[in-house]
Chains A and B, each alone.
Chain A
Amino acid sequence: MSPVTDFSAVAEGDELPPLTLRVTRADLVRYAGASGDFNPIHWNDRTADAVGLPGVIAHGMLTMALAGRFVTGWVGDPAAVRSYGVRFTRPVVVPDDDEGATLELSGKVKALTEADGVRIARIDIVAKFDGRTVLGRAAAEIALPG
Chain B
Amino acid sequence: MPDESWVGRSLDPSDPYQVSRVKIREFATAIGEDSRICHEVDAARAAGHPDVVAPPTFAATITMPLIEAFLREPAFGWDYSRMVHGDQSITLHRPIRAGDELVTVIHVDDLSTRAGSHMLTLRCELTDADGADVASTKAMLVTQAAP
Contacts and interface: CB of A to CB of B under 8 A. Distances in A.
B132 interface: no
Nearest to A21: B32
B11 interface: no
Contacts of A85: 87-90, 138
Contacts of A51: 81-82
A36 to B, nearest CB: 5
Contact of A64 (B35, B57, B86): B57
Given A33-B26, A61-B85, A72 B90 contact: no
A130 interface: no
B31 A31 contact: yes
Contact of B30 (A31, A78, A136): A31
A61 B82 CA distance: 17
A136 to B, nearest CB: 8
Contacts, number: 110
Interface residues of B, number: 37
Nearest to A87: B87
A88 B85 contact: yes
Contact of B32 (A66, A77, A140): A66
Contacts of B131: none
A24 B20 CA distance: 27
B53 interface: yes
Given A88-B87, A136-B87, 20 more contacts: A27-B30, A33-B26, A35-B27, A35-B61, A35-B64, A37-B61, A65-B55, A65-B57, A66-B32, A68-B55, A72-B35, A72-B56, A77-B35, A77-B37, A78-B35, A79-B37, A79-B47, A81-B56, A82-B91, A87-B87
